[in-house]
């Protein structure tokens, strides 16, 4: 290689390193900005959850026809969460609203026109399954706690 070729090759490598460094720096700045934009000060979030019966024959399909509405809950770390669970079945079926550790919530109610409530602080980030212990796997949902 001639000295001129070495300078061109070195200049190309320097440009490549600078471009890669700027992309990495830009990504981390963008990540910090997006994280800051998603932060919410802790607040009380009241969530109404209902039992709902899908219109199919559960005996024929050997699956419960009960589901939660909504089946997704989004809260932020530090929020006080108040779940109002309404068992609005027209029959006599019991339902539960159960979240295992670390929250350990288990509301068990018969059909009734008023809600049963659970209040807790969402202090552990992650995705947590909530379920009816009587009607899995169809009566399940997820609570996401953003940290």
Map out the domains of the chain as residue ranges: 1-38, 44-146
In degrees, to the nearest 5, what angle opens at C-alpha 131 toward C-alphas 113 and 58?
Answer: 80
For 120, phi then psi, to 5°, come to -155, 165
Task: Copy the structure tokens of residue 73.
Answer: 């809950």
Mapping DSSP to helix (H, G, I), strand (E, B) and coil, where does residue 143 land? strand
Instruction: Give the residue, 75 or 61, on which the prediction is more confident.
Output: 75
Which CATH architecture is the domain 44-146 placed in? Sandwich (2.60)
Whether the pLDDT of residue 104 is over 50: the answer is yes
Q: Examine the pLDDT at 4 and tell me if it is beyond 90.
A: no
Nearest to 64 by CA among 101, 86, 91: 91
Q: Report percent pLDDT > 70 for the chain.
A: 73
List beta partners, residue 97: 107
* pLDDT tens by residue, 75-96: 999 999 999 999 988 778 899 9
């Amino acid at each position: 290689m001639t000295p001129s070729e070495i300078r061109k090759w070195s200049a190309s490598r320097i440009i490549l390193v600078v471009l890669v460094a700027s992309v990495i720096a830009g990504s981390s700045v963008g990540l910090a900005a997006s994280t800051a934009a998603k932060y919410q000060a802790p607040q009380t979030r009241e969530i109404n959850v209902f039992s709902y019966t899908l219109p199919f024959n559960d005996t024929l399909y050997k699956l419960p026809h009960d589901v939660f509405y909504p089946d997704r809950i989004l809260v932020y770390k530090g929020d006080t969460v108040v779940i109002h669970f309404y068992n609005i079945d027209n029959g006599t079926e019991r339902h539960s609203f159960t979240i295992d550790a670390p929250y350990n919530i288990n509301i068990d109610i018969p059909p009734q026109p008023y809600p049963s409530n659970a209040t807790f602080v969402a202090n552990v980030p992650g995705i947590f399954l909530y379920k009816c212990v009587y009607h899995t796997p169809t009566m399940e949902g997820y609570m996401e706690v953003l940290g």
